[in-house]
Copies of this chain bind each other. A is one copy, B any other.
Amino acid sequence: MDIDSLAGQAGGWLSSAAGDGDIVISSRARLARNMEGFPFLSRATDDDRKRVVDAVVSAVEQAGFSDMAYVDLAEASSLDRLFLVERHLISKELAGGSGLRGVAFGRDEALSILVNEEDHLRMQALRPGLALEQTYDEVNRLDDSIEKHLAYAFSPRYGYLTACPTNVGTGLRVSLMVHLPALGYMKQIEKVFQAISKIGLAVRGLYGEGTQALGDFYQISNQVTLGRTETDLIDDLARAIPKIVEYEQRTRETWIDEDRNLLEDRVMRALGMLIHARRISSEEMMDHLSAVRMGVNLGVVDRCGLDTLNELFFLTQPAHLQKTEGKKLGPTERDVARAAFIRRRLNGTAP
């Protein structure tokens, strides 16, 4: 697959087709697996790494996932690696790592397999909206098919063995990307995070572990997998999320009831900045897109739909932008190109 062919559109998992894509934007299920007879990656030689890659690529082929393309990340340019991070197809760790490593992913980007990240294999399924069971089913089926052609490291006592103890057991991490602009603006978000951590869930930034929260987007996931069944893990998250969604919705409603004008002011100013800025950073843009997104969901903004905003989220990220422009851009050039791109999309005209 040609990576460049993806550059013009948002990932399939951010389709706005999902009716409940307002607060819960997407669901992800990830399984960590290691191959029997190979050392964990911290102790793997170059040769081990190569044998893992060969075995996985071969297993994917044998399992009949013929639409999956394999990208060799040791060979890929730093721009392509950043591009795949921006599409949530690989982690920052895999992009920034060293040694032979790669990713296989399908045409709609819903399924991907990270090879030689922290574990030999990390399989993930991504879907728009609240779809925990669906993503788990999908990654589970992928796992079953691969397992027929690959021997996993498994202990009858502990379950699947992983490089990091927090993944031992099922190796499953389920996570939801949520958009909580009202809770963010009303300074209620810390309260939510404290409540979440008490029930064994973790909150991470937009691009996963160790990344910053941008534009009120967060990833909520299970923390540990040892001693718990897959169903337990999914249920924990599935039980917590309606409360978070309701809290965000109630905060929006209170805001509208108490001071609709202030909310409109916040939303429309953000739209004004997006339309008028002549240079804008990713971070600032995310903040504005977040406010405008809430505005669209609340019917305050009718200038654009979620489709347009979802596209902007994707296509104005640094690597996407450079692919669209067809050249390397310095930080200021990116900020200028980003502003022009946003203007074209929101005005429907050239800059």
Contacts and interface: CB of A to CB of B under 8 A. Distances in A.
Interface stretch (A45-53, A202-210, A272-280, A311-319): A272-280
A204 to B, nearest CB: 32
A88 to B, nearest CB: 30
Given A272-B272, A273-B272, A336 B261 contact: yes
Nearest to A332: B261
A265 B336 CA distance: 9
List the number of copies, as a whole number: 2
A277 B268 contact: yes
Interface in A232-264: 261-262, 264
A328 interface: no
Contacts of A264: 278
Contacts of A336: 261
Contacts of A269: 273, 276-278
| Interface-centre pick from A265, A268, A275, A276 (highest chain B CB count, 10 A) | A276
Contacts of A273: 269, 272-273
Nearest to A270: B276
Contacts of A271: 276
A339 interface: yes
A334 to B, nearest CB: 12
Contacts of A262: 278-279
A46 to B, nearest CB: 47
Contact of A268 (B261, B265, B268, B278): B278
